[in-house]
Amino acid sequence: MTLGMISLGCAKNLVDSEIIAAHAQTAGFTLAARPEKADIVLINTCAFIRDAQQESIDAILEACSWKTAGRCRAVLVCGCLPQRYHAALARELPEVDAFIGLDALPEIGLVLRRLAQGERGIRHITQHAQRVIEPPAGRPLFTAGAYAYLKISEGCNNRCRFCAIPGIRGAYRSRPIPAIVREAQELLQRGVRELNLISQDVTAYGQDLAGSADLPRLLRALDAIGGRFWIRLLYGHPAHVTDKLLDTMGELPRICHYLDLPIQHSHPEILAAMGRPLPRGGLDNLFHHIRRRLPGVTCRTTCLVGFPGETPRHFAHLLDFTAAIRFDHLGVFRFSPEAGTAAAELPRRVSAGIMRQRERQLMLPQRRRVAADAAARVGKTAVLLIEAPAPRQARVFVGRPAGCAPEVDGVTFLTNAPKTCRPGVFVRARYTNARGYDMEAAI
């Protein structure tokens, strides 16, 4: 029996999909190269915002159509969407053969066997997600191979008023340091050379564990593995950045000087309405302090426009703030009123048209800043981690410097790669040209 997988949403979901694939293989299933050619199709869904929910529903309906116009015998839906809407989803999508919640991922092999035997109407969803699921050793990696995502915790305690994640994934639950180190060692032994630590908030790591476990201590344990590889931190909270963390990043050679700290907004009134506490000294001081304490650091952030009550004055503050800080990477999201969140009931909604306009107003100067920074890099050198051969380009490989995270930031095209070049090697190259968010370089 073959299993076709569709993984939607964030990198944390991708790790869940890798865990699912490992348990499916243990149960005797083979992963299909294309989901529409499989005996059973599994969709690991996202339910973060309405657009993500619609994407999940569309994928589910398409998969169900393969039962009448293809090889597919059963469709299984798992992840955030059934965890959040399990009762309604079962009513609205009777054509789905099984729904699996977040805590049931290790039981996926048993569920697949039941489906293979013809059983239907399977529901395996707990009321609240509360487990910490350890990835099986040797799990399939759905990344390029040179890098992998290493999930260090589950859930979230931040309770931002616009966010549904705590209601879906539960309270913050850290994995113990020895378990994370074991997983890192196994990934490195398989040739991975970049470990991307992910969580709803990596900077909150260890707050739920007894003793002195925290993110700096975890970083020291991972760095002590030894060898040549990168460690990158993704998804932190500005209010949780400490001098101890910055000093640890500066001291350890394998930690990328890269911080992904979504600010969501800059105006104190909007941040208070969002339930986002300000760091001590404010956001302005935080980023100036980060750059003083960690020279050469790359700063990524995301902003949320159109939160209820956001006036032109509030937005102008955000526009000026992002211009003053000059973030290296910046993304923008529009407010989505999510059922069950406090913000969903707030008055003074911002229209969809104004949200789109504000998104453009934030991204246009950011593109100009990126273009200017890229032009300034031409002629300079950098170490690149090679990821993969470039499609349809002989002796051209795609790589990234330490200042670019996979999938969300730009890439660098190595145009004169030697014949010995392969994914997972580090090379020093000189930038020769800028291509928008991407660069070209030569050995």
Question: In which band, very low, low, confident or very high, does the pLDDT at 87 lie, cut at 50, 70 and 90?
Answer: confident
Domains of the chain: 2-124 (3.40.50.12160), 147-376 (3.80.30.20), 381-442 (2.40.50.140)
In this predicted structure, what is the pLDDT of residue 426?
Answer: 95
Q: What is the CA radius of gyration of the chain?
A: 22
Query: Is the model's pLDDT at 144 over the cut of 80?
Result: no
Query: Is the model's pLDDT at 437 over the cut of 80?
Result: yes
Across the range 262-281, mean pLDDT stands at: 93
Across the range 344-358, mean pLDDT stands at: 95
Question: In which band, very low, low, confident or very high, does the pLDDT at 357 lie, cut at 50, 70 and 90?
Answer: very high
In this predicted structure, what is the pLDDT of residue 123?
Answer: 93
Stretch among 211-220, 315-324, 377-386 having the lowest mean pLDDT: 211-220
Across the range 73-84, mean pLDDT stands at: 95
Query: Is the model's pLDDT at 350 over the cut of 90?
Result: yes
CA 380, distance to chain mean position in Å, is 30
Mean pLDDT of the chain: 94
In this predicted structure, what is the pLDDT of residue 435?
Answer: 87
Question: In which band, very low, low, confident or very high, does the pLDDT at 420 lie, cut at 50, 70 and 90?
Answer: confident
What token pair was written down for 406? 């996979």
Across the range 229-250, mean pLDDT stands at: 95
Query: Is the model's pLDDT at 90 over the cut of 90?
Result: no
3-state DSSP of the chain: CEEEEEECCCHHHHHHHHHHHHHHHHCCCEECCCHHHCCEEEEEECCCCHHHHHHHHHHHHHHHHCCCCCCCCEEEEEEHHHHHHHHHHHHHCCCCCEEECHHHHHHHHHHHHHHHCCCCCEEECCCCCCCCCCCCCCCCCCCCCCEEEEECEECCCCCCCCCCHHHHHCCCEECCHHHHHHHHHHHHHCCCCEEEEECCCHHHCCCCCCCCCCHHHHHHHHHCCCCCCEEEECCCCHHHCCHHHHHHHHHCCCECCEEECCCECCCHHHHHHHCCCCCCCHHHHHHHHHHHHCCCCEEEEEEEECCCCCCHHHHHHHHHHHHHHCCCEEEEEECCCCCCCHHHHCCCCCCHHHHHHHHHHHHHHHHHHHHHHHHHHCCCEEEEEEEEECCCCCCCEEEECCCCCCCCCCCEEECCCCCCCCCCCEEEEEEEEEECCEEEEEC
Q: Is the pTM of this model over 0.85?
A: yes
Question: In which band, very low, low, confident or very high, does the pLDDT at 111 lie, cut at 50, 70 and 90?
Answer: very high
How far apart CA 437 and CA 23 sit, in angstroms, is 38
Question: In which band, very low, low, confident or very high, does the pLDDT at 335 lie, cut at 50, 70 and 90?
Answer: very high
pLDDT tens-place string over residues 149-189: 999 999 999 989 999 999 999 999 999 999 999 999 999 99
Query: Is the model's pLDDT at 224 over the cut of 90?
Result: yes
In this predicted structure, what is the pLDDT of residue 242?
Answer: 94
What percent of the chain stands above pLDDT 90?
87
Query: Is the model's pLDDT at 127 over the cut of 90?
Result: no
In this predicted structure, what is the pLDDT of residue 172?
Answer: 95
